[in-house]
Structure 1
Amino acid sequence: MFRRFLALFALVLLVILGACGGTPAASPATEVPSAPATAVVEPSPVPPAPTTEPTAEPTTEPTVDPVGATDTSGTDAADAADLSALEDLDLSDVDISGLLGGILGGGVGAGETVTNQLGYSLVVPEGWSVLMNVAFEGTGAVMMVPEGTDPMEGPDENVLAVNVGDSSVVFDDAALPPDASLDDLMSSFQNEMIEEDPDVKVSDVENVRIGGLPGRAVNITSSVPETNEEVFVRLGIARIDDARIVTVIGIATRELWDPAAVDAVFASLDLSGLQ
């Protein structure tokens, strides 16, 4: 879930860090000067007793690169192409100030209102702060993390996020039409979760209000494969129009799990300014 959303975050983060002098998105390989190659010169043969034959001319072997020398021209070309591709990205629709503010610790905190460039807003729940706020190609995303999270490390299993866009933003593997019903979307999500982890526990679907719209919500209990630690998920979806949905998802480990924070976003979400 949110694969495209998180990929966008990673891409924009690389570009921003490169612009700020941090870890660049792509940097040309540093060339280590090669030791100068030494020409091998064969000495002129010592002439025998004087004869009428001319003395043989010295011959010079072709210059040979020392063993271990590396041709970096291919690497340089590939790195330059990668850098050029990033520089050509059209980031005009990305809320750079919001993203940069979050990365540098100036993100919106608990109790404050965050407004996405797409036009919607919400109040950050207690205990959370905004890490990312972007709008890109018709999709608006706000990602929140627990207060005190190092913004340079990015999110882990504890995330509270809002997305507005077409259904493929979240349900990108679902063979569903853009105007699929909420029940079909939720069933698709539940089935995908069960396919990924047969031991996952999925609650019954609830009828809720999200940003004033009728919606559906479900709770999931799963685990982190590497640690087998329990992870709790609460997902809510509502349809804005025939082309767009809004999703609110909370993911947290047991010690940070607070479904009330997700419900607080359901209630505070204001979609009236959507473009």
Structure 2
Amino acid sequence: MTTPVLTISDLHQTFEKGTINENHVLRGIDLTMNSGDFITIIGGNGAGKSTLLNSIAGTIPTEQGKIVLGDKEITRHSVTRRSKEISRVFQDPRMGTAVRLTVEENLALAYKRGQVRGFSSGVKGKHRAFFKEKLARLNLGLENRLTTEIGLLSGGQRQAITLLMATLQQPKLILLDEHTAALDPKTSMTVMALTDQLIQEQQLTAFMVTHDMEDAIRYGNRLIMLHQGKIVVDIAGEEKQSLTVPDLMALFHQNSGTELKDDQLLLHT
């Protein structure tokens, strides 16, 4: 039997515990991801989407429950230790890159993730050729911008490079935290297409939080919807492929007992 890539058992997260502002954000999440799964996750304001990703990444400590990556429990591991095997792309294109470094220097840092790094005299020729080939596959002309400071690029270009950086070392898991939300619609479509391309080409296991129900349906092989810290919809395969937005909203109502308006998903958790 194949070992799952990620197993989450009875995960709870409570903020401001013991105060009048106590907020039980995650309420007993159980989740298993197999190799090659591309899960999209949606939910309204306060559903727990980003809290779930932060828990997996180690940004916030686990209050209760267990998180296992492959055959190794990582519940108490630090963000740094987890980052050797878990990559993450954030909503803000300015995060995940060093703005004063060039494109190739940023890619070099990502390429050396998990290795002992020292100061060297620039990017080696063999690495430059490798980075150029990877950038060319994005079809954005970025292979000709290797020596450009990354802070001078557009948000879409930076997010495309951040995606590439996150996948250079074939992570066990990639977390996409509403990574197109800050982009204009046209650029968002381009970055989503690149996301799908990289995930499919490298057969990555990916977890994507999105505010867009159509993207949640269009991409990935499995869709999860959170409500009040619980998984209320978990749908995969052919059943997911045939979904429409009205179908999804009806499923949410059926399983949560509440109505969901499309604009609720434009809010962040």
TM normalised by structure 1 equals: 0.31
Larger radius of gyration: 1
**Greater fraction helix:** 2
Q: Which has the higher contact order (CA 8 A, sep 6+)?
A: 2
